[in-house]
Amino acid sequence: RFCLETSSSGSVQGYAVLLETQLKNLPRLKVWKQPPGLKGSSMFRVWKLFILLFFFLSLVKGSRVLELSDRFLDVRNEGQWFVMFYAPWCAHCKKLEPVWALVAQALYNTNIRVGRVDCTRFTAVAQQFKVNAYPTIIFVKGPYEYVYNGDRSKEELLHFVNRMSGPPVQLVTRPDSIDILKSNNPIFFTYVGKQSGLLWDVFYSAAESYQAHGYFYATSVEIAKRHFDVDTAPAALVYKERSHYYFPYSDNFERIEPAHLNESLFRWVNEERFATFPKISRSNIHHLVQTKKYLVLAVVEENKLSEIAAHEQEFRDMVEIFVHKNKHKYHGRFQFGWVGNPELARSIAMDSLPTPHLIVLNATTNEHHIPEDDPLQLTPEAIEIFLDSIHNQTAPTFGGNSLPVRIYRAWFEAKTSLAEMWIGNPVLTTVLFGLPLGFLSLIMYSICCADILDAEEDDTEAEQRHEKKE
């Protein structure tokens, strides 16, 4: 609530009262007094009005996120909803709050309503949507629910909503629309030709399966020829980083068995939906593993401001340049990317891994490869030799899926998680593990003492019987 008082002289004395129960997530603005030396100063009045305007804008933005309750179960089928299920004590939920407010602001003038549910208060809603982790982000479209598993950035969240709010395949009927799509979407799939026949059915089925992960369009041959090199129709192509590539069987799909065509196109979409050198995190690595390619990771470390040290930035740029120059050579066998969190790479290597570094994961066998050279001394030529040795199966391998490796991996992950918990909150870690151990110790002590007392009683009774006989 903002209150302004204007004196007869025209000077503005402003103060703002923020209701804490309603605006607890906004910064606090205290009542301030005008310095006596600046009375009547126009600059001082301007600054006060600017600050009031800033808090007013913050208030407006904060109100875009709807606070949902149990009644959401009754209105969920009314329109489209983008909902965050959270818990007040969850650190990841608090980190997501400013991003979620930006998403709500961006979608304010659309037919998509953005809200959030406190699962500690409205447990019935959490149970209905099967929420078992925080935060959980779900797009609700009538009776259908789509869980978001990607990167929690404003851009990726908006892309997800834009894809899921429309049909699996969107029709392009204007020639200039392709240029707009190229400027807005770095990667999208397009079907060229009449929307009928075997290839169209398979393409539409793949779009339904991968709608949450990519954009799919359909257009006529006339419109497509203005933007792509169209030699045959119908055809399926992917626009990717200012180039386009056709589905390998577009020109002879009629000679292929429908089951094989379906499998091939699904696999092609799953491989081509990723950028050439994307950022890889725990939220998307399992999608990349599904490509069944070698996953080549340039490992660097970002700080809290997403900044990278100069020598690590130079290493990552060198790898990226190498990837783009040798794209056609390695594209069919390797998927490249970079990691800003070394802990992800260390969980793969099951060992400490300095940064910068290079590690290659075999998505099929869970084996990994590490170059023998010092990462800071790696050159494009050395990387090429290293990747060729992996493809020829002459490079040293580590890890795998054997029983001893699985046991060691479980122990390493448990040890790492416990260490992270201790560093983050030693008191909570002590309580979580100390109390169960304390109760277990009491139980074991009572069991052992009971046996000893029973043994002593038996000995006493035996001695008494012996004395009576004597």
The single-letter code of the amino acid at 428 is L
Task: Find the largest Cα–Cα distance for the chain.
Answer: 118
Cβ(147)–Cβ(140) below 8 Å: no
- Least Cα distance to 66 among 112, 24, 4 occurs for 112
Q: Which one from 93, 119, 448, 449 is the annotated catalytic residue?
A: 93
81: left (phi over 0), alpha (psi -120 to 50) or beta: beta
CA distance 145 to 142: 8
442: left (phi over 0), alpha (psi -120 to 50) or beta: alpha
For the question of residue 448 being annotated catalytic, the response is no
Three-state DSSP at 466 gives helix
The single-letter code of the amino acid at 196 is S
CA distance 375 to 378: 5
CA distance 255 to 369: 40
Q: Interior CA angle at 30 toward 28 and 34, to 5°?
A: 145
104: left (phi over 0), alpha (psi -120 to 50) or beta: alpha
Task: List phi, psi (to 5°) of 312.
Answer: -75, -35
The single-letter code of the amino acid at 395 is A
The 3-state secondary structure of 315-339 reads: HHHHHHHHHHHCHHHHCCCEEEEEE
The single-letter code of the amino acid at 396 is P
Q: Note if the bond before 234 is cis, omega within 30 degrees.
A: yes
CA distance 470 to 468: 5
CA distances for 125 relative to 87, 90, 128, angstroms: 13, 18, 5
- Least Cα distance to 420 among 321, 330, 346 occurs for 346
- Least Cα distance to 298 among 327, 318, 284 occurs for 318
For the question of residue 119 being annotated catalytic, the response is no
Number of neighbouring beta carbons within 10 Å of residue 429: 16
**What positions carry a catalytic annotation?**
90, 93
